[in-house]
Amino acid sequence: MKTYALQHFKTITTHKLLVMKYCFRMGLYRQGLTHDLSKYSPTEFLQGARYWQGNRSPNNAEREATGLSLSWLHHKGRNKHHFEYWTDYDIQSETVIRGVPMPRKYVAEMIADRISASRVYLGDKYTDSAPLEYYNKGKEKLWFVHDQVKAQLELLLGMLAEKGEDETIKYIREVFLKEGSKK
């Protein structure tokens, strides 16, 4: 199977730099610098290069080919801006996985991540509605995400779709993140 190491490197680096730009605008400097560094690890990078297509996540292609994505399993356990990171056993049943609340700074980073991924994969077809549309396509599968996180994500993605990037990022920086720090 042909690998696309250079193309994958360009894709993840373009994405990382975009997320860094958005995180910096939100005041999340450390998160901007460290966002998705695990994608450069052998576990993630080699699979990403092998399954790279340029128009969607290589994790989906890996799942289709093998039945699971080892790259994703590695990634979600190391990156707190994914709601899959924020799951735990339900203490009452001890067998059911449930979502737990995410700190707002990681919800904000998730917004930056979703905007950037949409921009990278859609290119010139990107609109400020695209991240919300993508979220809504898979929303029914998010049974494990904490209701508070869903509400925050939907608020911010809805704001992005309605009011645009500048106003949404300003709101995240000046209101959303500051409200979260009062708790």
pLDDT value of position 47: 95
| Dihedral sign, Cα of residue 62, residue 98, residue 75, residue 161 | positive
Give 98's strand partners: 88
User: Model's pTM, two decimal places?
Assistant: 0.93
Please tell me the distance from the alpha carbon of residue 105 to that of residue 141, in angstroms, as a whole number.
24
Tell me what the mean pLDDT of segment 48-55 comes to: 92
pLDDT at 182: 62
What pLDDT, on the 0 to 100 scale, is given for residue 1?
52
Question: Total structural domains in the chain?
Answer: 1
Residues 6+ apart with CB under 8 A from 47: 58, 59, 62, 69, 70, 71
Looking at every residue in the chain, the average pLDDT score rounds to 94
Cα(158)–Cα(132) distance, rounded to whole angstroms? 7
User: Which domain covers residue 77, as residue numbers?
Assistant: 5-181
Could you read off the pLDDT of 90-136 as tens digits, one per residue? Answer: 888 766 888 999 999 999 999 999 999 999 999 999 999 999 999 99
